[in-house]
Amino acid sequence: MNGSTKEITTAEVTPGVHIPFIGLGTWPLTGEDAAAAVHQAIGNGYRHIDTAENYANEAAVGEGIRRSGIERGDLFLTTKFNTAWHSRTGVREALGRAVERLGTDYLNLFLVHWPNPKQGRFVEACEGLQDLVNEGSIRAWGVSNFKPAHLRLVQDGGLAVPLNQVQVDPEHGQPAQLAYHREYGIVTAAYSPLGRNGSFLSHPAISGPARKLGKTPAQIILRWHVQHSRVAVPKSADNQRQRENLDIFGFALTQQQMAAIDALETGAPPRLDSDTYFH
């Protein structure tokens, strides 16, 4: 990167609300493991923490934040709620419970975790989230695991979806999903951004740039996400890996290197089908 140019390290979710490109994923950490990982991550420079009701670790995440001593305004905090709360009043109750567990008075980003289309109330849940933004109880809202068909129903209800958190990695590139996001200005946040079995970490499209640039394969993949303007939330409790995962600025992949990683796409769907899976 040009040393005279300060690199952009955040994405704009809604006007004035900026989410750091790299966040700390916290699933499946719980209890003291989660609290310690969050405390350590903040010390390592993380300013974006991602959790969820169903991870059963919001209280531990909150404890880790308190231990760090960070000012609340310096941290971007995301959590997600389950389908039991899919109504305008239910979303409000979900927020009350989440902030109580986390020990904060507001959220930066509150997400519908799964659409549960058979239940058919996710549009109402999104309306409830917009109510909370209008009141200032949350800074921004979004969704997770929403397919284009689900997003379209929300949009048909008159709402612009700011962000969708979905599974994206080099082998699960979801090109049609991400094309829909680009068309409608939806920020993409990638969970499991490094994959789940790591088989592609040794592929020459990744190991080659890693050797050339003196970076780890994981850093190359995270850099690939960021250069595609995607937020990524890798999980790690390991001190060195936390530092490495955050240290993906100050270098750039070439167009050819980016294209080679893009070409690892297999066409495989996400691990879980959001038309049928939910909690």
The structural domains of the chain, ordered by start, are: 10-262 (3.20.20.100)
pTM for the full predicted model: 0.97
Work out the angle between the directed axes of helices 148-156 and 175-183 (0-180°, nearest 10). 20
Q: What is the pLDDT of residues 48-60, one digit of tens each?
A: 999 999 999 999 9
Residue 5's pLDDT is: 56
Long-range contacts for 255-263 (Cβ within 8 Å, ≥24 apart)?
Answer: 257/205, 257/208, 257/209, 258/224, 258/227, 258/228, 260/205, 261/170, 261/205, 261/206, 261/220, 261/221, 261/224, 262/170, 262/173, 263/205
**Residue 213 predicted with pLDDT over 70:** yes
Q: Which of 46, 55, 180, 191 is catalytic?
A: 55
Residue 55 among the catalytic residues: yes
Q: How far from the centroid of its chain's Cα atoms is residue 212's Cα?
A: 29
Q: What is the pLDDT of residues 176-198, one digit of tens each?
A: 999 999 999 999 999 999 998 77
